[in-house]
Amino acid sequence: MRKTRVILVALILAAANTLSAQAIDLAKVRPVDLTHPFGAKTLYWPTAPSGFKLQQLAFGPTPGGWFYSSYAYAAPEHGGTHLDAPIHFFKNGRTADQVPIDQLIAQAVVIDIRNKARGNADYRLTAADVVAWEKANGAIPRGAIVLLLTGWSTRWPNAKAYLGDDTPGDASKLHFPSYGADAARLLVKERRVGALGVDVASIDYGQTKDFIVHQIASESQVVGLENLTNLHLLPAKGAVVLALPMKIEGGSGAPLRAVALIPR
């Protein structure tokens, strides 16, 4: 079992171009969970028709004498920690089940805008911010998963603090930072990244009227990873992210379990 796990981690890291031919032991990698749990407090877009629901089907002893529990759940695609598939904002985009697995397992690039967002809830990442990150850390590799650290995950699951407004059914008063259009074009069109992730509710900022970042990403088959957490525990570079969604056939998105592996 141990040998299998070592080989698995080696393959994952190799896919992100971070390994030599030598396998890496799990003892040398620290996992970080980037996912909020799904439950009654999970946040969804204000216009979503429902939230996360868990129905108990069985819980207790069986006639045979053993314990058994089982549940049914229901939820919109876009809420909690989740993936936006390209078809979410592009008619010819890939659906959730069509996103290539190697696009979801890749080197992580973490861009920290906490200082800028702290005084401006509507702050949008700029192309200059991306260039400044590269001057300090080196070129963003092709296929990378870019993670935007705003610090907003500390506000979860307080809807008003996290979204900027908690009016049911109204998404016009939201305020939270995210990517700007110029930064998105640089990352998607020029750096050719595989995913844009963020620790807020959208890869577009709260006051968007056209969801331009979604459009830019989706038209290039780039996925969005939204409502992430624990990004502050990751280095600016050097981690590998596994962003594995529920494989919903034909889905425009899906609940996501995202994990980062950090060399010890």
212, containing H or E segment: helix 212-219
- Reply yes or no on whether 88 is catalytic: yes
User: Rounded distance, CA 49 to CA 60, Å?
Assistant: 32
Tell me the HSE value of 10 on the side-chain side, using a 13 A CA sphere.
Answer: 12
Catalytic residue among 36, 82, 88, 214: 88
C-alpha span between 150 and 204 (Å, rounded) = 13
| Residues designated as active site | 88
